[in-house]
Structure 1
């Protein structure tokens, strides 16, 4: 199945934002940023308001705030952006740099092979572990009918 490059970019941006910061740093160590790398927006930490809807279709309400760090970089003629949960500025910088480098045909194949796929496997493993942990604590309720 052929997917749009925009969908592929959204997929890797999501993966980079959800990646474990230490794993991302280790994976990106093998790749030097292009010489013409410049920070368009240095890493900044702030708050975003989370909004929800009752039942998914009801009126909107403010659910709460979340700390987010954002960053933008220009590397090799491509602009990379990142928004990561929390206040880890290095995580945002590495994710933005990886986004910019993944848009470059010279880096994309190697980055996909050595950064994106290992991070995807790690995220899948963490999700499976969380799912197994939740399933282990599942409680089945039943009702006993009396007098019928």
Structure 2
């Protein structure tokens, strides 16, 4: 029981940074990697490769599951090693779409986030700026959507 409660916050944190890396603009990830020093040695374990995943839904968000359709994803697993790291680490990513470089860079930063010595630095220098950019982009989209909102109303007719 104890392992479940201590693993849950770590899992939630990893899900949050992986979401940020997966939704990041590929050019922003490439720029962050170009600026990263010192770079660890990166060895591809799996991929990057493109495949399909089945997207499942639920009726009323809690009812019976059903297959909604397939989505294209790019995935990568990399092994990071070298003097830049305390120990060897693995980075893994799944990214919606077909951008192989995006999947590989997301896996590299996931691996850097696993290293205890680099975790805070990667969060501050890479993940936090990407999250701010995404929040600003999402807010612009919400504003644009709100600007097209139409309020419908009915006028009660008076009957004589």
The TM-score normalised by the length of structure 2 is 0.84
Q: Which residue of 1 aligns with 2:96?
A: 85
Q: Is the 8 A contact 1:74 1:80 kept in 2?
A: yes
CA–CA separation in structure 2 for the residues paired with 1:70 and 1:136: 37
* 1:35-59 Cα deviation digits (max 9, x unpaired): 3x32111211011121112211232
1:56 maps to 2:61: yes
Moved more, 125-134 or 105-114: 105-114
Structure 1: state its 5+ residue gaps: none
- Three-state SS of the structure 2 residue aligned to 1:142 is coil
TM alignment of 1:1-148, pairs within 5 A: 4-31=9-36, 32-35=38-41, 37-76=42-81, 77-148=88-159
- Three-state SS of the structure 2 residue aligned to 1:46 is strand
Structure 2: state its 5+ residue gaps: 1-7, 82-87
CA–CA separation in structure 2 for the residues paired with 1:84 and 1:10: 13
Runs of 4 or more consecutive aligned structure 1 residues displaced over 3 Å after TM superposition? none
Larger radius of gyration: 2
CA–CA separation in structure 2 for the residues paired with 1:75 and 1:50: 31
> C-alpha displacement at 1:147, in angstroms?
2.9
Moved more, 91-100 or 50-59: 50-59
CA–CA separation in structure 2 for the residues paired with 1:116 and 1:23: 11
Judged with a 3 Å threshold, the aligned counterparts in structure 2 of structure 1 residues 9 and 58 are, in CA distance, closer, same or farther, namely: closer
